[in-house]
Structure 1
Amino acid sequence: MELIEAELFTDPGNDAVVRLPPRHFPGVLIQGDSLSIIRGDVAEIVEACAQGDVQDAHEAATLLLANFDELLARYESALEAHGIKTSSHLVSLR
């Protein structure tokens, strides 16, 4: 384990936006329990697709996308609040 200093752009709760040296852009710290929930959501979509249940798959995917859109908005807001331009960096994320 290595101890380093990181820059915290948001509160230190779930989905904290942090920048590790020597990175230019920050990342999003996803807690393990939140990662497990995301994995479960994706597994639900895969299972619905395997069963041919397009309606359930679409609903689950729509909710997952909405959650990611909220996370991305939080990320963009944090960067903008700290004077980091996001438009060129996030083109590949949308």
Structure 2
Amino acid sequence: MKQRRIEIYSDEPDNSVVRIPDNPFPASAIQGDSLFLLHGEAMDLVDELKHNPGSDSFYRAYRIASELEQRLRHYIEVCEQHDIELNFDIVCSVEDYQELLFD
């Protein structure tokens, strides 16, 4: 674990804005449990749209869910590496819907 000073522009819960040194733009920070809930909502959309997999809506929902899942997996991995116990895990994954994507 690194310890660095960061600039905090807003420390509003689930909506913090921070800037890490050497990054030109501030970042939006979200709590892991909120990220988990957003991923779940996106997965619900993917599931609702699975009957029309060729649609633009399905593809966009899938991409959003995939991006959120990638961030959520990274979050879980980092917490595990630092022995931070979480009370959630990914149950439904975009991988379950990959066969519906067209190349």
What is the TM-score with the length of structure 2 in the denominator? 0.48
Structure 1's consecutive aligned runs of 4 or more residues displaced over 2 angstroms after TM superposition are: none
Tell me the equivalent position of 1:88.
Answer: none
Give ranges in structure 2 of 5+ residues lacking alignment: 62-103
Tell me the equivalent position of 1:3.
Answer: 3
Tell me the equivalent position of 2:13.
Answer: 13
SS of the residue aligned with 1:9? strand
Give ranges in structure 1 of 5+ residues lacking alignment: 62-94
Q: Give the superposed CA RMSD.
A: 2.1
In structure 2, distance between residues paired with 1:50 and 1:13: 34
Change (3 A) 1:30 1:18: same
**Number of residue equivalences:** 55
Q: Which has the higher helix share?
A: 1
What is the TM-score with the length of structure 1 in the denominator? 0.52
For 2:42, the aligned partner's letter is: V
Tell me the equivalent position of 1:40.
Answer: 40
In structure 1, distance between residues paired with 2:51 and 2:20: 42
